[in-house]
Amino acid sequence: MLEEEKKFIAEYDASKYDRPSVTADIVIFTLDEEDDLNILLIKRNGFPYKDHWAIPGGFLEAGKESVEDAAKRELFEETGIKDVFLKQLYTFSDPGRDPRTHVISVAYTALVPKSQLTIRAGDDAGDAKLFKIKYDINGIRFVADGLSINETQLAFDHAKMIRMAITRIRGRIDYEMDAFSLLKDKSSFTIYELKRIYESIKNTKLDTANFRKAFLRNYVDTGVVEALNEKREEKGKRPTSLYAFIEKERNVL
Amino acid sequence: MLEEEKKFIAEYDASKYDRPSVTADIVIFTLDEEDDLNILLIKRNGFPYKDHWAIPGGFLEAGKESVEDAAKRELFEETGIKDVFLKQLYTFSDPGRDPRTHVISVAYTALVPKSQLTIRAGDDAGDAKLFKIKYDINGIRFVADGLSINETQLAFDHAKMIRMAITRIRGRIDYEMDAFSLLKDKSSFTIYELKRIYESIKNTKLDTANFRKAFLRNYVDTGVVEALNEKREEKGKRPTSLYAFIEKERNVL
DNA sequence: TCAAAAGTGTTTCCCATACACCCATGC
DNA sequence: GCATGGGTGTATGGGAAACACTTTTGA
pLDDT(A251) > 90: no
Å from B218 (CA) to D17 (C1')? 17
| Per-residue flag: A217 CB under 7 A of strand C | yes
| Pick from A22-26, A161-165, B16-20, B147-151: least confident | B16-20
Residue range A34-80, pLDDT digits in tens = 899 999 999 998 878 999 999 999 999 999 999 999 999 998 888 78
Rounded-to-integer distance, Cα B89 and Cα B94, Å: 16
**Position A164 confidence tier, pLDDT thresholds 50, 70, 90:** very high
| Alpha carbon of residue A204 to chain centroid | 20
Measured in angstroms, the CA of A241 and the nearest CA of chain B are apart by 34
AA identity, residue B69 = D
AA identity, residue A84 = V
Closest by CA to A124, choosing from A27, A64, A59, is: A59
| Per-residue flag: A208 CB under 7 A of strand D | yes
Mean model confidence pLDDT for chain A: 89
Å from A209 (CA) to D8 (C1')? 8
The answer to whether the CB of B51 falls within 8 A of the CB of B43 is: yes
Residues of A in contact with B9 (CB under 8 A): 47-48, 99-100
The answer to whether the CB of A180 falls within 8 A of the CB of A246 is: no
Mean pLDDT, residues B25-46 taken together: 93
Residue range B201-219, pLDDT digits in tens = 999 999 999 999 999 999 9
Q: Would you call B11 an interface residue with chain A, using a CB distance cutoff of 8 Å?
A: no
The more confident residue out of B81 and B245 is: B245
Cβ count near A153 (within 10 Å)? 13
The answer to whether the CB of B25 falls within 8 A of the CB of B55 is: yes
CA distances from A253 to A84, A244, B153, B168 (A): 16, 24, 23, 8
Residue range B225-236, pLDDT digits in tens = 999 988 998 887
Rounded-to-integer distance, Cα A210 and Cα A218, Å: 12
Residue range A77-108, pLDDT digits in tens = 887 888 788 999 999 999 999 988 999 999 99
pLDDT(B15) > 90: no
Mean pLDDT, residues B42-67 taken together: 92
Residues of A in contact with B166 (CB under 8 A): none
pLDDT(A126) > 80: no
Secondary element (H or E) of residue B4: helix B3-10
Query: What predicted TM-score, i.e. pTM, was given to this entire model?
Result: 0.91
For residue A212, which phi and psi values (nearest 5 degrees)? -60, -50
The answer to whether the CB of A28 falls within 8 A of the CB of A55 is: yes
Helices (H), A80-207: 158-172, 191-202
pLDDT(A4) > 60: yes
Residues of B in contact with A50 (CB under 8 A): 5
- Under 8 Å CB-to-CB from B91, ≥6 apart: which residues? A67, A88, A91, A106, B104, B105, B106, B107
Mean pLDDT, residues B46-67 taken together: 92
Residues of A in contact with B88 (CB under 8 A): 90-91
AA identity, residue B79 = T
AA identity, residue B16 = K
- CA closest to C18 C1', residue: A207
Secondary element (H or E) of residue A86: strand A86-92
| Per-residue flag: B230 CB under 7 A of strand C | no
Mean pLDDT, residues A221-244 taken together: 91
| Pick from A46-60, A107-121, A239-253, B72-86: least confident | A239-253
Rounded-to-integer distance, Cα B191 and Cα A201, Å: 37
The more confident residue out of A118 and B111 is: B111
Mean pLDDT, residues B76-80 taken together: 82
- CA closest to C7 C1', residue: B209
The answer to whether the CB of B20 falls within 8 A of the CB of A63 is: yes
- Under 8 Å CB-to-CB from B47, ≥6 apart: which residues? A4, A5, A8, A9
CB contact under 8 A, B21 and A22: no
Closest by CA to A87, choosing from A105, A68, A60, A64, is: A68
pLDDT of A234? 85
Please return the burial class of A169, using the count of CB atoms within 10 Å of its CB with bins 0-12, 13-18 and 19+. buried
| Per-residue flag: B239 CB under 7 A of strand C | yes
CB contacts under 8 A, B 121-180 vs A, are 164, 167-168, 171
pLDDT of A177? 87
Rounded-to-integer distance, Cα A57 and Cα A109, Å: 11
Q: What percent of chain A has pLDDT over 70?
A: 89
The answer to whether the CB of B42 falls within 8 A of the CB of B78 is: yes
Q: What percent of chain A has pLDDT over 90?
A: 66
- Under 8 Å CB-to-CB from B18, ≥6 apart: which residues? A61, A62, A63, A64
Closest by CA to A31, choosing from A154, A169, A149, A147, is: A169
| Per-residue flag: A35 CB under 7 A of strand D | no
In this complex, which of A9, A66, A252 lies closest to B95 when CB atoms are compared? A66
**Position A16 confidence tier, pLDDT thresholds 50, 70, 90:** low
CB contact under 8 A, A93 and B50: no
pLDDT(A115) > 80: yes
pLDDT of B17? 64
**Position A236 confidence tier, pLDDT thresholds 50, 70, 90:** confident
For residue B229, which phi and psi values (nearest 5 degrees)? -90, 50
User: At B168, is the secondary structure helix, strand, or coil?
Assistant: helix
pLDDT of B7? 59
AA identity, residue A232 = R
Rounded-to-integer distance, Cα B109 and Cα B92, Å: 14
pLDDT of B14? 53
CB contact under 8 A, B8 and A59: no
Residues of B in contact with A22 (CB under 8 A): 19-20, 22, 93, 104
